[in-house]
Amino acid sequence: MRALLSLIFLCLTALPLHAEIPFDVTLMTEGQTVRWRAENGNTAVTYLGPEGGLYRFAFTRDGSKGDPAEVAFWSNRQGEAVKARVGALTLRYKPSDCTLTVGRCTYTETRSDGARRKMVHLASVADGVWTYRLYHTAEAAENLVEEGTFTVDGAGVILDHTYRILEGGIWREAWSKRR
């Protein structure tokens, strides 16, 4: 599931330990859909517009190369997820999922079934390419759950993403490329 929600992390050496680069999801128009080819199927994200002080999106993946998926998610104006719904399960990220935050950023993921976990996101950016690592609980090799690179547009939408993710104790290589 983390692969579906994975967004991005940044770090500019001239910026402080925790910083943000200005992205603005309102650059998208309501109903605008962005599509990708990915190793696990064709995917799309549609911007549904503002809702309750957040910005709502619908993510879909077809079944062409695996299981289909549908996820609703809400972001802040900078494009970082603060809430997601997959079927009956709701996830909340406090303060956000740190995807587009430069440097070290920690957040708490809380699930509607009561499960909770602390995550540490480290990100850097050089020449427009983001490099990130995501850890469960603390920054340590044994806690690494995802790492990769991506590029992003001014609205905070990923263009290309190459990563590896730990799923069920097995590392899986993954990628997506915007059409």
What is the reported pLDDT for 172?
Answer: 95
What is the reported pLDDT for 18?
Answer: 43
Task: For the chain of 179 residues, list the mean pLDDT of each consecutive stretch of 10.
Answer: 35 34 90 94 96 97 90 96 97 97 96 97 96 95 96 91 95 93
Number of domains the chain contains:
1
What is the reported pLDDT for 63?
Answer: 87
Q: Which residues span the domain enclosing 7?
A: 2-178
pTM of the model: 0.84
Query: Could you tell me the CATH number of the domain that includes residue 57?
Result: 2.40.360
What is the reported pLDDT for 11?
Answer: 23
What is the reported pLDDT for 179?
Answer: 86
Tokens 């910005």 correspond to what residue?
A: 55
Choose among 69, 67, 168: nearest CA to 58: 69
